[in-house]
Amino acid sequence: MSDGKLVGIVLVSHSAAVAASVAELAQGLAGVGGAVPVAPAGGTEGGGLGTSAELIAAAAASVDRGAGVAVLTDLGSAVLTVKALLAEGDELPERTRLVDAPFVEGAVAAVVTAATGADLAAVEAAAVEAYTYRKV
């Protein structure tokens, strides 16, 4: 468990609308309102499809409460953008982690787990476990 600080969650999509909708869905299904700091980082600065290092860095800074930041992405170049930011070392808050998880299910699991006060490793594990959710 954390020291009372909650892990922040950043949702990176190529679409601003998708990132915002998944953030809204995860918080709504988790039933935590705005308790868990979640920020969408979708699209480009100009509102187009794509990813933006600047938007991702700003979103991560906005959710950082000192317990770590879990970043979930939708598709390939979003992953590459986050990896590049992590490699630079000074663009993202300390203890920011790229989480390999399904975007929607992982986001819900991450928010639910973060709401319990779990640490970054537990939030990541819950999101990753979402790969095992079966629908049939």
Q: What is the pLDDT of residues 17-33, one digit of tens each?
A: 999 999 999 999 888 66
Choose among 56, 15, 14, 51: nearest CA to 39: 56
3-class state of residue 39 by DSSP: strand
Choose among 49, 59, 57, 67: nearest CA to 115: 67
- Out of 10, 14, 81, 85, pick the active-site residue: 14
pLDDT value, residue 3: 65
Average pLDDT, the chain: 94
5 is catalytic: no
Topology (CATH) of 8-132: Rossmann fold (3.40.50)
Q: Which residues contact 99 (CB under 8 A, 6 or more apart)?
A: 70, 71, 72, 106, 110, 123, 124, 127, 128
Which pLDDT tens digit goes with each residue over 35-92? 899 999 999 999 999 999 999 999 999 999 999 999 999 999 999 999 999 999 899 9
pLDDT value, residue 2: 52
**Could you report how far apart the first and last alpha carbons of the chain are, in Å?**
33
